[in-house]
Structure 1
Amino acid sequence: MPQLNPNPWFFIMLTSWLTFSLIIQPKLLSFIPTNPPFNKTPTTTKTTPWTWPWT
């Protein structure tokens, strides 16, 4: 059964993970987000109890 032979697939998986970890991930992490969440002021909403018409 060729599906159980890990010889070509292990190399492909290892190569793809190394490519992601060493090349793509540092490039993605170097971007600065344009809308950082820590600059937003928290808003508090006033909640009022619901008046049920049948009570």
Structure 2
Amino acid sequence: MPQLNPSPWFFILLMSWVTLLLIFKAKIITSTPHNPPMLPDMTTSHTTPWNWPWT
């Protein structure tokens, strides 16, 4: 029984993975929102001190 040349099978395997990853990358890029995230204003935040029950 003749042995198969592994070179074309390896190439097909690599090309199928590259194609699959490119498809998933395109789907991820199109599903992300394009507006930038809003950073909260850190100067206006004020915390109240804790009221301890025994004081």
| TM-score, length-scaled by structure 1 | 0.43
Decide which structure has the larger Cα Rg and report it: 2
| TM-score, length-scaled by structure 2 | 0.43
**Which has the larger share of helix?**
1
